């Protein structure tokens, strides 16, 4: 069984993000980059499926500039067998990413596609659902548990009211939630081995996909500065300030 995992290169979750002076976007100069945390969970889940004898091959895919090779090497060090970079300098939106992944699926024919439920930069939560629709695959989003039995896939989903269990026919797309697993760290020997694992570079044009964005970013602003907190002397003073200053009661 082949498992395809989509990984995205984003600003490291521990880095303080700054907005460019002209408000056109986020300043990425000399900023540490990493695999999107939800995509890292997808990588871990694919590795666990292989350790259980369910998956026979794990293919990692990244869409973006040449620097995406670093992100893919990390996925290879964690346990992916090979990688594909679909190289483009265009700022690809979720629909474009889904179209590229669909073209890769047509080429690779995976039985399971695992994506993060969303990225921590654009935060759209759209790619997995769009990919499933375009490819005609079953889908299980917000997965907190995945079980494979032959050509059936059972996914426990996190929903507003609790948990929902769905049974899917393969091939299927699964998007990961936080509680699915705890990603491992790449060991130094595996980091060295990753340098020798195959990494193919394609372009959207070679896949016959138009990745021109359908959306335009008009302005990016940093959150408003919060005022410093204060101490109150009594409950009555606290209630007064909540009512007359904060106006929350």
pLDDT tens-place string over residues 109-141 = 999 999 999 999 989 999 999 999 999 999 999
What per-residue confidence (pLDDT) applies to 194? 95
Reported confidence tier of residue 4, pLDDT bands at 50, 70, 90: very high
| Whole-number Cα distances in Å, 22 to 32, 123, 210, 237 | 22, 22, 29, 42
Using one digit for the tens of pLDDT, what is the confidence trace for 185-236?
999 999 999 999 999 999 999 999 999 999 888 999 888 888 888 899 999 9
What per-residue confidence (pLDDT) applies to 229? 85
User: Which of left, alpha, beta for 237 (phi over 0: left; psi -120 to 50: alpha)?
Assistant: alpha
Half-sphere exposure of 220 (CA within 13 A, CB side): 15
CATH topology classification for 2-244: Rossmann fold (3.40.50)
Average pLDDT over residues 49-58: 96
What per-residue confidence (pLDDT) applies to 109? 97
Average pLDDT over residues 39-59: 97
- Looking at the DSSP bridge assignments, the partners of residue 52 are none
């Amino acid at each position: 069984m082949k498992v395809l995992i989509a990984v995205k290169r984003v600003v490291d979750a521990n880095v303080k993000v700054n907005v460019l002076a002209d408000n056109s976007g986020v300043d990425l100069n000399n900023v540490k980059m990493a695999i999107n945390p939800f995509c890292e969970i997808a990588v871990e889940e694919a590795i666990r499926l292989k350790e259980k004898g369910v998956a026979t091959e794990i293919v990692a895919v990244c869409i973006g500039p040449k620097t995406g090779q670093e992100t893919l090497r990390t996925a290879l060090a964690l346990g992916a067998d090979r990688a594909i970079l679909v190289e483009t300098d265009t700022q690809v939106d979720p629909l474009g990413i889904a179209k590229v992944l669909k073209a890769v699926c047509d080429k690779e024919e995976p039985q399971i596609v695992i994506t993060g439920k969303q990225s921590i930069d654009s935060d759209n939560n759209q790619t997995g659902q769009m990919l499933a629709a375009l490819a005609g695959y079953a889908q299980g989003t917000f997965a907190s548990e995945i079980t494979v039995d032959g050509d059936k896939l059972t996914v426990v989903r996190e929903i507003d009211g609790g948990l929902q269990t769905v049974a899917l026919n393969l091939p299927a797309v699964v998007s990961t939630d936080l509680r699915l697993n705890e990603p491992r760290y790449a060991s130094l020997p595996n980091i060295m081995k990753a340098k020798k694992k195959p990494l193919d570079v394609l372009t959207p044009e070679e896949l016959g996909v138009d990745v021109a964005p359908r959306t335009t970013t008009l302005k990016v602003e940093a959150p408003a500065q919060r005022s410093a907190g204060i101490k109150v002397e009594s409950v009555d003073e606290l209630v007064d300030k909540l009512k007359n200053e904060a106006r929350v009661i």
